[in-house]
Amino acid sequence: MFAAVPTPIPARMKGLNRAEICDINFREFVLGWDGRAGQAPAAAEPVLEGSALDARGFRELFESQLVSRHLDLMARVLRVQNKVFYTIGSSGHEGNAMVARASRHTDPAFLHYRSGGFMAERFRKLPGMDPVMDSALSFAASKDDPASGGRHKVWGSKPLWVLPQTSTIASHLPKAFGTAVAIEQARRIGHALPVPDDSIAICSFGDASSNHATAQTAFNVAAWTAYQKLPAPVLFVCEDNGIGISVKTPDGWIARNFSQRPDLDYFAADGLDLAGGYGDVQRAVEHCRRTRRPTFLHLRTTRIMGHAGTDFEIEWRSIEELCAVEATDPLLRSAVIALESGLMSKDEVIDLYEATRAKCFAAAEDADRRPRLELLEDVMAPLAPYTPGAVAAEAARADYGSRRLEAFGGEAKLPERQPPRHLAIQINQALHDLFAKYPEALLFGEDVAQKGGVYTVTKGLQKAFGARRVFNTLLDETVILGLAQGYANMGLLPMPEIQYLAYFHNACDQIRGEAASLQFFSNGQYRNPMVMRIASLGYQRGFGGHFHNDNSITALRDIPGLVVGCPSRGDDAVTMLRTLMALAKVDGRVCAFLEPIALYMAKDLHEPGDGGWLTEFPAPGEAMALGEGRVYGQGGDDLVVFTFGNGVPMSLRAARTIEAKHGWSVRVVDLRWLVPLNDAFIREQAAGAKRILVVDEGRRSAGVGEGIITALVEGGLAGVPLQRVVGADTFTPLAGAAFLVIPSEEQIVAAADRLAA
């Protein structure tokens, strides 16, 4: 299937620095070449007889390969001088330039870290761009790096539709699939795409990475989609060099594992041989574009110069094996094509090689003289953009009256005209309202469509807004969040639903490593706004189990840039959702909305039938500012209780008992926003408090309560008597025992008693 590799050159048996060896090998190989040169083909003629690649194409690809190679060589040299900070290279993978050549610069691409060749070639697609300088700036972590602003060495470019990736392997595949689906779906809901309608999404990854659960998830959902004859134009490019760091991929495994998968169309191409490989690469790209089917391109590559600069292969591999690998260097094959075709003489090849080296070093030296990130605020600038005025205006925007009337079925049925209702109904109404407001909003997850979710919170939405905007996904949280990123990349406003908080943890990396990091690693050039709804927390009666009652939000608290809100009542849920959508829309923020399951149906507060937890639907125009809490018992300062979620009605009930028992005036503060915590608001509410109680239904370690106490202590309020009522550091058991591990009203009262003592 693959063309022959160049004949092995005499191996250099000594020499520890394999980068130097590969460099010398190239020169010696070219100068020692004794084949016969043909009659140089014209630009539009095949570079070699029978090749799908023309002479112009070959020359450009060869140049791109050389740029990639010399960036690697430069990085190895300048790393030790502290001028470059990244040495995972592309050497041996330069043939991936063919994928860039065969595709368009508007095909969104999510790239493997060995994509130097791809990038250099894609740079050709737009005039006036310089792959050498741009890459050098990224290698040098220069502030002027146009991809990440000096935050990381990434392959990324805004004009070239390369969404930056760091090197968590496989994590980008679900969102590449999501982007492919979004390209198709956007058109169907009348949304104008930022790229041509027949674009495809490209992602590349290594052979070892193809085994990763996150990769398998993407292959599976792509096939699941195609099986149903739904379009999913994603091109999976597996760059198979036969190894992952030091672990060999079993011979033939990639072909065996992928060539027969139903609904994943398999193509193989020799990435070591431009003349032989290009036609196959082109066929794969065209197949994906034309059929809109998930396509798997198995690209043969090799890995020379080790996994990274720090990988001294000589220590764990035999010299014979190393030399054999080095003999498969695709640049040697390209040199042969250049010479054999008669396109270039030996001197011309060497001159081009050296001129490219000089250019890369000059760019790197230039990049080293540019400023680097020196201030924390500069590092963090793109992480969590927030324009309060514009967000407030957007949250309060109410210019969609006619769509609203249509969605609710007339004036009389508008939710603000209805009597007070409970949380689940008000969230449902808010979603209808927001779907009328944002035609680009999509809601999806497990069981959300016809059933309306496990708790019927999304009931009726699909009927009202159609199956293109409200739909069930397959059962895979990683896919749900990958889809969300894909839709967002294409300008839609996704609202993924995670069925239970426990299941967020299955797919946490899609938010932590991917969605929340995009603005950061792209220096604010790319954004993937979303509002992720999660049915959350404990206290359910009659519906037990750890996974249905997970009370830990620590994993969310820890994600930089994420916004997390948790309402405890219906009206707050409505105004909070408006603000979350506005944060996503205006500032591109990734948001989480935690819905306390146990409060969905809560109607009463103190006595059965009092309707104390029913609320009116806030009319459009009303919104809640980010960080704004709700205070019950304003002015009460004998005891101030900080809490959220289920803790709010529980604390309000306990407050009655405490007031009666101790004669205190008690203030209960619902923080509502859990990430970021509003430290200033917490301190303001604590000022003048005689006693403080923190009621946190999450776990003791690393929960919200710790954040509240830290805010208080750092605010200088250490002297005020303080107690914390908090969940235990344990998993949630079944049945009544579940209530032993989370705070109770009695514990709140007991804590107040301790404060009184």
Ligand X SMILES: Cc1ncc(C[n+]2csc(CCOP(=O)(O)OP(=O)(O)O)c2C)c(N)n1
Q: How many residues does the chain have?
A: 757
313 binds Mg ion per the rule CB under 5 A? no
Query: How many residues make contact with Mg ion (CB under 5 A)?
Result: 6
What whole-number distance in Å separates Cα of residue 196 and Cα of residue 474? 28
Contact code string over 618-657 relative to Mg ion, x by CB under 5 A? ----------------------------------------
Give the residue with the Cβ less far from ligand X, 249 or 568.
249
Instruction: Give the CA radius of gyration of the chain.
Output: 30
571 binds Mg ion per the rule CB under 5 A? no
* Distances in whole angstroms, Cα of residue 519 to Cα of each of 161, 583, 679: 14, 14, 24
Which residues make Cβ contacts (< 8 Å) with residue 185, sequence separation at least 6? 442, 468, 487, 492
In the complex, the smallest distance separating the C-beta of residue 419 from ligand X, rounded to whole angstroms, is 51
Among 696, 607, 611, which Cα is nearest to 646's? 696
In the complex, the smallest distance separating the C-beta of residue 207 from Mg ion, rounded to whole angstroms, is 4
Q: What DSSP line would sit under 292-354, residue for residue? A: ---EEEEEE----S-SSTT--GGGTS-HHHHHHHHTT-HHHHHHHHHHHTTSS-HHHHHHHHH
In the complex, the smallest distance separating the C-beta of residue 20 from Mg ion, rounded to whole angstroms, is 23
Binding site for ligand X (CB under 6 A): 114, 167-169, 205-209, 239, 241, 243-245, 303, 307
Give the residue with the Cβ less far from ligand X, 239 or 587.
239
306 binds Mg ion per the rule CB under 5 A? no
In the complex, the smallest distance separating the C-beta of residue 95 from ligand X, rounded to whole angstroms, is 13
In the complex, the smallest distance separating the C-beta of residue 203 from ligand X, rounded to whole angstroms, is 12
In the complex, the smallest distance separating the C-beta of residue 1 from Mg ion, rounded to whole angstroms, is 19
Give the residue with the Cβ less far from ligand X, 16 or 245.
245
What whole-number distance in Å separates Cα of residue 65 and Cα of residue 271? 11
Taking CB positions, which residue lies at the least distance from ligand X? 206
User: Residue 345's CB: how many other CB atoms inside 10 A?
Assistant: 14
In the complex, the smallest distance separating the C-beta of residue 240 from Mg ion, rounded to whole angstroms, is 7
Give the residue with the Cβ less far from Mg ion, 326 or 571.
326
In the complex, the smallest distance separating the C-beta of residue 293 from ligand X, rounded to whole angstroms, is 24
- Contact call for residues 622 and 396 (beta carbons, < 8 A): yes
In the complex, the smallest distance separating the C-beta of residue 487 from Mg ion, rounded to whole angstroms, is 31
What whole-number distance in Å separates Cα of residue 538 and Cα of residue 547? 10
Give the residue with the Cβ less far from ligand X, 49 or 558.
558
206 binds Mg ion per the rule CB under 5 A? yes
Give the residue with the Cβ less far from ligand X, 88 or 396.
88
Instruction: Determine which helix (DSSP H) or strand (DSSP E) holds 639, and give its type and residue range.
Output: strand 639-643
* Distances in whole angstroms, Cα of residue 292 to Cα of each of 12, 314, 423, 618: 48, 45, 42, 44
Instruction: Take residue 734 and report the two structure tokens written for it.
Output: 């079944």
Q: Which does 169 bind (CB under 5 to 8 A by kind): Mg ion, ligand X, none?
A: ligand X
In the complex, the smallest distance separating the C-beta of residue 457 from Mg ion, rounded to whole angstroms, is 44
Q: What DSSP line would sit under 11-64, residue for residue? A: P--S-S-HHHHHHHHHHHHHHT------PPPPTTSBSSTT-SSBHHHHHHHHHH
List the end-to-end C-alpha distance of the chain, in Å, as a whole number. Answer: 83
Q: Which does 114 bind (CB under 5 to 8 A by kind): ligand X, Mg ion, none?
A: ligand X
- Contact call for residues 194 and 187 (beta carbons, < 8 A): no
Which residues make Cβ contacts (< 8 Å) with residue 421, sequence separation at least 6? 429, 570, 614, 615, 617
Contact code string over 62-91 relative to Mg ion, x by CB under 5 A? ------------------------------
Q: Is 149 left (phi over 0), alpha (psi -120 to 50) or beta?
A: left
Q: Which does 245 bind (CB under 5 to 8 A by kind): ligand X, Mg ion, none?
A: ligand X
What whole-number distance in Å separates Cα of residue 312 and Cα of residue 460? 60
Q: Which does 168 bind (CB under 5 to 8 A by kind): ligand X, Mg ion, none?
A: ligand X
207 binds Mg ion per the rule CB under 5 A? yes
In the complex, the smallest distance separating the C-beta of residue 212 from Mg ion, rounded to whole angstroms, is 12
Give the residue with the Cβ less far from ligand X, 245 or 358.
245
Q: Which does 569 bind (CB under 5 to 8 A by kind): ligand X, Mg ion, none?
A: none
Which residues make Cβ contacts (< 8 Å) with residue 280, sequence separation at least 6? 267, 268, 269, 270
Q: Which does 618 bind (CB under 5 to 8 A by kind): Mg ion, ligand X, none?
A: none
Instruction: Determine which helix (DSSP H) or strand (DSSP E) holds 591, and give its type and residue range.
Output: strand 590-596
Q: Which residues pair with 724 in a beta bridge?
A: 694
Give the residue with the Cβ less far from ligand X, 86 or 205.
205
282 binds Mg ion per the rule CB under 5 A? no
Give the residue with the Cβ less far from Mg ion, 72 or 477.
72
> At 4, phi and psi to the nearest 5?
-70, 150
Give the residue with the Cβ less far from ligand X, 329 or 706.
329
Give the residue with the Cβ less far from ligand X, 253 or 547.
253
Q: Which does 446 bind (CB under 5 to 8 A by kind): Mg ion, ligand X, none?
A: none
Q: Which does 209 bind (CB under 5 to 8 A by kind): Mg ion, ligand X, none?
A: ligand X
Give the residue with the Cβ less far from Mg ion, 206 or 271.
206
Stretch that binds Mg ion, among 27-35, 235-243, 533-541, 586-594 (CB under 5 A): 235-243
241 binds Mg ion per the rule CB under 5 A? yes
In the complex, the smallest distance separating the C-beta of residue 580 from Mg ion, rounded to whole angstroms, is 40
Give the residue with the Cβ less far from ligand X, 307 or 370.
307
Cα 267 to the chain's mean position, in Å? 28
What whole-number distance in Å separates Cα of residue 29 and Cα of residue 328? 12
Instruction: Take residue 435 and report the two structure tokens written for it.
Output: 């779907």
Interface residues with Mg ion (CB under 5 A) are 206-208, 241, 243-244
